[in-house]
Structure 1
Amino acid sequence: MPSDKPQLLAVDDDPEILDLLRRGLAVEGFNVRIAANGKTALRTLKTSKIDVVVLDIMMPDLDGFEVVKKIRSTSDVPVLFLSARKQVRDRISGLDAGGDDYLPKPFVFAELVSRLRALLRRPGTQGVNLLTFAGIAVDTEARRVVRGSNVLDLTAKEFDLLVTFLNNPNRVLAREHLLESVWSFGSSASSNVVDVYVGYLRRKLEDNSGSRLIWTVRGIGYVLRGERA
Structure 2
Amino acid sequence: MIRILAVDDDIHMLGFVAEELRQEGYEVVEATSGEQALQRLESETVDLAVVDVMMPGIDGFELTKILRTDYALPVILLTARHHIEDKERGFLAGSDDYLVKPFESKELLFRIKAILRRYDHPDDDLLALGSLRIDLKSYEVKSTNGILLIPLKEFELLALLASRPKQVLSRDLIIENIWGIDFQGDEQTINVHIKRLRQRLERFAPDVKIITVRGVGYKIEVRG
Please, what TM-score do these two structures have when normalized by structure 2? 0.52
2:4 is equivalent to residue 8 of structure 1: yes
Q: Determine the structure 2 residue equivalent to 1:42.
A: 38
SS at match of 2:46: coil
Shift of 1:123: 3.0
Offset of 1:58 from its aligned partner? 0.6
Which residue number corresponds to residue 100 of structure 1? 96
Distance 1:38 1:125 in 2: 29
Aligned to 1:27: 23
**Runs of 4+ with >2 A deviation:** 123-126
1:64 corresponds to 2:60: yes
The DSSP-based 3-state class of the residue aligned with 2:35 is helix
Q: Which residue identity is paired with 2:14?
A: L
Corresponding residue to 1:81 among 58, 77, 82 = 77
Which shows bigger deviation, 101-110 or 64-73? 64-73
What is the Cα deviation at residue 124 of structure 1? 2.9
Give the TM-score normalised by the residue count of structure 1: 0.51
Aligned-pair RMSD on alpha carbons?
1.5
Match of 1:122 in 2: 118
| SS class of match (1:8) | strand
**Partner amino acid, structure 2, of 1:24:** E
Q: Partners in 2 of 1:40 and 1:106 — Cα distance?
A: 24
Identity of aligned residues (%): 42
AA in 2 matched with 1:111: E
Match of 1:52 among 48, 53, 73: 48
Aligned residue pairs, count: 122
For 1:203-218, list aligned pairs within 5 A.
none
CA distance in 2, matches of 1:45, 1:80: 17
Structure 1 partner of 2:109: 113
CA distance in 1, matches of 2:33, 2:67: 14
The equivalent of 1:136 in structure 2 is: none
Alignment partner of 1:91 is 2:87? yes
Residue identity opposite 1:61 in structure 2: G
Structure-1 separation of matches of 2:79 and 2:12: 14
* Contiguous gaps of at least 5 residues in structure 1: 127-229
CA displacement 1:81-135 (0-9 Å, x = unmatched): 0111211111111010111100010111101000001111113359xxxxxxxxx
Distance 1:123 1:108, change over 3 A: same
Deviation at 1:60, TM superposition (A): 1.1
| Deviation of 1:76 (Å) | 1.4
